Chains A and B, each alone.
Chain A
Amino acid sequence: MNEQHHLELSKVTIDFPTDSGPFRALEDVNLKIGKGEFISLIGHSGCGKSTVLNIVAGLHQATEGGVILNGREVNEPGPERAVVFQHHSLLPWLTAYENVQLAVDQVFKGKKSKAEIKEWIEHNLELVHMMHARDKRPDEISGGMKQRVGIARALAMQPEVLLMDEPFGALDALTRAHLQDSLMEIHAALGNTVIMITHDVDEAVLLSDRIVMMSNGPAATIGEILNIELSRPRDRLTLADDPTYNHYRSEVLKFLYERQRRPGEEKPQIAGSDNIVDREESESPSLRVVAS
C-alpha cells in the first residue's frame, strides 16, 4: 500500500443494464494519481470518459474494482471530490453568489462564522473574476461566466480532487483560452488534484501533467498514457512553436486518429498488473503502452 498514491482507480469495470443484457462500458481501468497532479482524459465520444469521472465522483458505482482516495474507498458523492459539470449546472433560480453559497453553507456549516462564509464566497468568486456579477442569475450572464461560477462553486468546497467534465466544451475559442489560463493559475495556486475530460488536444497538452487516452468502447479502457513534461507556468504563445509541445500534440492525434480509428485492430499487449506509469519514474518525454 503506497501512500503516495493519493487517488487510485483499481480494476474499475462497469456494466450498465440494458434490455439486451448488461452493457460493459468500462473494463479494467487502472490509474494511480499523485497529489496535485493534473490529468486529462481524452478519447472518442462514447468511450466512457464521463463514466470514469462519474465513478470517481461517486455518482456511479463500479460493478467491479473501485476507487480509493487517501486510502478510503469512494462509494458515494462528496464535496471533497467537487464536480464541474459540462453544462455548468447552476441553479437557475439563484444568483451567482447564492449558487456558491449553497455549496459553502453545506460544506462549512458550523465551521465558519457568517462573516467568514461571506468572505470565502467572495474570495472564490474573485478567484474566477466574477465578483462584478455576484448578484446576477445564470440566465443573465454569458456561457463563459456561468462556467466560471461553476468552477467557483466547485473550488469553494475546498475539494481535494476537482473533477471537470468538458468544462470548456460549450465555449467559444477565445473564452476557452481565457478560462484555461485562469484554470492554470488556480491550479498553480491551490494545488488541487484535477481530472479533466476534454476533446481538445491543445487543451489537454497545455494543461496536463499526464494525458490518459482511452480506447474505444464497449469495454473501453486506458489505451495509453502520455507524460507531458513541459515546465510550468506554461504560456500558450511560446509553446505554439515549441517542438516538444508539437511532438506531444501529434502523439495524441496519432493515438486518436490512427490507433483508435478502426476498432477491432490488434491492440497493445497487456503489460501486467503493474502497468501504470508513475509520475516520478518517467524520465524522458516518452509514450508508454500501458494496457489494452
Chain B
Amino acid sequence: MGFMAGKRALIVGLASKRSIAWGISQAMAREGAELAFTYQTDKLKPRVEKMAAEVGSSLVFPMDVAYDEQIDAAFAGVGDAWDGLDIVVHSVGYAPREELAGGFVDSTTREGFRIAHDISAYSFVALAKAAKPLLKGRSGALLTLSYLGAVRAIPSYNVMGLAKASLESAVRFLAYDLGSEGIRFSDAYSPAPICTPARRSILCGMSATLYKALNPLIQVFKPVSPLAWLPIVTMVVSAVYVSKDPMFAKSFLTSAITVTLCCLWPTIINTTVGVSSVDKDLMNVGRVLRLNWLTTTLKIVLPSSIPMMFTGLRLSLGIGWMVLIAAEMLAQNPGLGKFVWDEFQNGSSNSLARIMVAVIVIGLIGFLLDRSMLYLQSRVSWDKNAVLR
C-alpha cells in the first residue's frame, strides 16, 4: 500500500502507452490509488480498457471533452461507481495538425485557435465544473499538464503555446475560486524536455565524462620525448612564422613551444586528480548550501586542490627546465644548452672545464626554480603548517 491508498482518481486523456497520462496512472496505481479512465472515441475504447485492466481498473467511460453532455455523463458514471473523487488528471491537448507546422503567423487560423483553446484549456475548466460536487469535502486535487511553450516561443508549437498559457491562467483562477473549498490545482508539470541538470565541472576533474574523453589523449602525448616534438615544431614554426622583422627568433619560438608541449602534462594531470579528489563531505556542504558553480569552484574546489596543483607545477617546471636545455642544443637557440653544445663542438682544451661549469649552473638554476615555486606555494596555499619539501 502506498501513500495514495484509498484515493480515487479519474484519468482523462489516456490514449496510448506513450501518453504521459499512462505514466501517471501507473505511478498512482503503484501507490495504491483506485483509477477510472475516459476515452475519446470508440476507436480508442478497447485500447483504454486494456490499459485500465493492467492497472486493475474496470471503470472506463466515454468522454470527448468537446461535448458538455459527454463530460456530464462520464462524471455521472463516476458518481455511480464511487461516492466521491479525490483526483482528476487532465492530460488533454489538441490543435489541428496544420496549426503546428511552419511559422506561427502563417499557420494560425481563427478556427484552429478556437479548437486549440476549447480542447486544451476550456476542457480543464469544464472538468473542474463537473468534478466539483464529487470533490467536495475530500481535499481533492486537479492536475493538468503544461509545457514550456506556454511561456516561451517554441518553434512549431504555435497556437498550442497560447492554449497552454490560457490553461495555466485557468489553473490560477480555479485555484483562487475553488481553493477555499479545499480543492487544489496544479500545472506544475512541464514534461518535456525532462531535464536532469548537469552540474559542476571544472576541467576534467569534476566531470567524469570529460576526464574519460581526454585522459587517453593526455596519456599518449605525455611520454613523447622532446626530441620527437622538436622537428615537428620546427617545421610548423618555419612554415607559419614568416616575418621580416620577427619579434622572437625562430629558434626561441621553437624551443618555447617544445618546452610547453613537454611540461604541460604533469600540471594537467595533477590538477585533474586534485580537483576530482576533493573531500566528498566538503562538496556535500556546498550542495546543502546550494552554492552555485562559481562559488563552489572558488571556495571549495580550488583551495582544496591547490597542493596537488603545485605538485604538478613543480614537476612541470623541472621538466621544462630540462627540456629547455635540450631544445636549445638542437634548435640552436642562444642559451646554456647551446653553450654546452658549442663547447663540445669546438674541442678546445678548456672545453671540458667550461662544460662542467655550465652543468653546475644548470643544476643550480633548476634548484632555484624549484625553491621559488615552493615559496610561491607557501604564499598561496591555505595550509601554512604543511611541510613543503
Nearest B residue (CB) for A272: B1
B69 on interface, CB distance cutoff 8 Å: no
Q: Provide the residues of chain B in CB contact with A83, threshold 8 Å.
A: 284-285, 288
A169 on interface, CB distance cutoff 8 Å: no
Selected from B5, B281, B289, B383, the residue in CB contact (under 8 A) with A157 is B289
Structural contact, B383 and A78, CB atoms closer than 8 A: no
Structural contact, A93 and B3, CB atoms closer than 8 A: no
Structural contact, B288 and A82, CB atoms closer than 8 A: yes
Structural contact, A91 and B303, CB atoms closer than 8 A: yes
- Told that A83-B288, A139-B385 touch, could you supply 17 new A-B pairs with CB distance under 8 A? A1-B139, A10-B3, A11-B31, A58-B287, A59-B288, A65-B3, A76-B290, A79-B289, A79-B290, A89-B281, A91-B300, A92-B304, A92-B383, A106-B295, A107-B289, A272-B1, A273-B1
Q: Provide the residues of chain B in CB contact with A103, threshold 8 Å.
A: 289
B52 to chain A, nearest CB (A): 23
Selected from B3, B32, B287, B291, the residue in CB contact (under 8 A) with A59 is B287
A146 on interface, CB distance cutoff 8 Å: no
**Total residues of chain B contacting the partner, CB 8 A:** 25
B44 on interface, CB distance cutoff 8 Å: no
Q: Provide the residues of chain A in CB contact with B291, threshold 8 Å.
A: 106
Which applies to chain A's interface (DSSP): helix, strand, loop or mixed? loop
B103 on interface, CB distance cutoff 8 Å: no
B235 on interface, CB distance cutoff 8 Å: no
Cα(A107)–Cα(B303), bound, Å:
22
Structural contact, A102 and B299, CB atoms closer than 8 A: yes
B241 on interface, CB distance cutoff 8 Å: no
Which applies to chain B's interface (DSSP): helix, strand, loop or mixed? loop
A100 to chain B, nearest CB (A): 11
Return 14 A-B CB contacts under 8 Å, by A number: A11-B2, A76-B290, A77-B287, A78-B288, A79-B288, A83-B288, A89-B282, A91-B300, A92-B383, A106-B290, A106-B295, A139-B385, A273-B2, A273-B32
Structural contact, B290 and A59, CB atoms closer than 8 A: no
B199 to chain A, nearest CB (A): 10
Structural contact, A93 and B383, CB atoms closer than 8 A: yes
B382 on interface, CB distance cutoff 8 Å: yes
**Total residues of chain A contacting the partner, CB 8 A:** 28
B54 on interface, CB distance cutoff 8 Å: no
Q: Provide the residues of chain B in CB contact with A107, threshold 8 Å.
A: 289
Q: Which of B281-318 contact A (CB under 8 A)?
A: 281-282, 284-285, 287-291, 295, 299-300, 303-304
Selected from B5, B285, B288, B304, the residue in CB contact (under 8 A) with A273 is B5
Nearest A residue (CB) for B300: A91
Cα(A85)–Cα(B289), bound, Å:
13
Structural contact, B31 and A57, CB atoms closer than 8 A: no
Cα(A107)–Cα(B287), bound, Å:
12
Known: A11-B3, A106-B290. A89 touches B382 (CB 8 A): no
Cα(A273)–Cα(B32), bound, Å:
10
B279 on interface, CB distance cutoff 8 Å: yes
Q: Provide the residues of chain A in CB contact with B139, threshold 8 Å.
A: 1
Structural contact, B303 and A77, CB atoms closer than 8 A: no
Closest 4 CB pairs of A and B: A93-B382, A273-B1, A89-B281, A77-B287
Q: Provide the residues of chain A in CB contact with B282, threshold 8 Å.
A: 89, 91
A148 on interface, CB distance cutoff 8 Å: no
Q: Provide the residues of chain B in CB contact with A10, threshold 8 Å.
A: 2-3
Structural contact, A85 and B284, CB atoms closer than 8 A: yes
A81 on interface, CB distance cutoff 8 Å: yes
Q: Provide the residues of chain A in CB contact with B5, threshold 8 Å.
A: 273
B306 to chain A, nearest CB (A): 9
